[in-house]
Amino acid sequence: MTCYSVNGQPIYVREEGKLEHPVALLIHGWSSSWYAMSPLVSLLSSKRFRCLAVDLPGYGQSPPGAERATIAGYADLLAGLIQTVSDGPVVLVGHSMGGMISLTLALRHPHLVERMVLLCPTISGRLSLFINLFISPVTILERFSLAGKIVSLLEPQMLGVTDRLMRPASIAARTGITEADYHRIRADARRPGQGRVRAECFWAMREGDLRGKLGQIEAPSLVIWGMEDNTVPLSDASILADEWPDADLRIVPKASHWPQFETPEVTQRYITAFLGKPLKLLKVQF
């Protein structure tokens, strides 16, 4: 992992590809790490991109920021990272909350974004009823130090229950994800010491509601959504279709919230085709 410093904030990055190649910045979602984007790092670096898959502050190896986590704060911090590593606009690839951060970055710093690939992006900030019923109570508890310690102590007893609850919320019934990848993703979501940032980001997504703003985005964008997504509801895809008809929206069968792992061949084919088109042609289409 490479460590960059932006305005005094350390940001750890999994980096692959040659320095002279165009930059692709990969942004993970809530309760995750750079590993959420790992299937796309090797793909994009093989397509002549310099890939930087970040650990957002408070996740993975990156220490939390001094201020409360917000979507706009993450977007501005990553804008600083882009200006550190690139002389021109970059490709953004965002998953879930990382999609909301990417969209916010494109709204706040449009000159830094060439095009975007968004995987199940959070639009309204309101997650599915399933997530709100079973996860938000724990997230609220994690916000407070004593309650967070109690949650951590009870976690070994809760593992079997949470697996039975969470797997249907994030993984499709006919998924192609491997057990090794599923367990790594699950381990990231349970990483110790991240209770505060998880709680802050849960509410930050609601505060970052993008409804009514999508039509302002100029960057050509591909949006891939799992047909069985029970984490970010497909109603958010409907909002996107209504407000941003220029976006190339693809709904993928046999995938839930992790199409990059669940349907890798289809997902990679869409991304390869989109990134292979000349920017001038995309701007005509969009």
State pTM to two decimals.
0.87
Q: What's phi and psi for 248, nearest 5 deg?
A: -85, 95
Between residues 177 and 169, the one the model is more confident about: 177
Q: Using CA atoms in the order 174, 223, 270, 277, what is the torsion angle rounded to 10 degrees?
A: 180
Q: What is the rounded CA–CA span in Å between residue 237 and residue 255?
A: 15
What is 2-285's CATH topology? Rossmann fold (3.40.50)
Average pLDDT, the chain: 84
DSSP string across 195-215: HHHHHHHHHHHHHT--TTTGG
Each residue of 242-254: pLDDT tens digit? Answer: 999 999 999 999 9
Residues near 190 by beta carbon (within 8 Å), at least 6 away in sequence: 155
Residues near 274 by beta carbon (within 8 Å), at least 6 away in sequence: 115, 117, 222, 248, 282
pLDDT of residue 283: 63
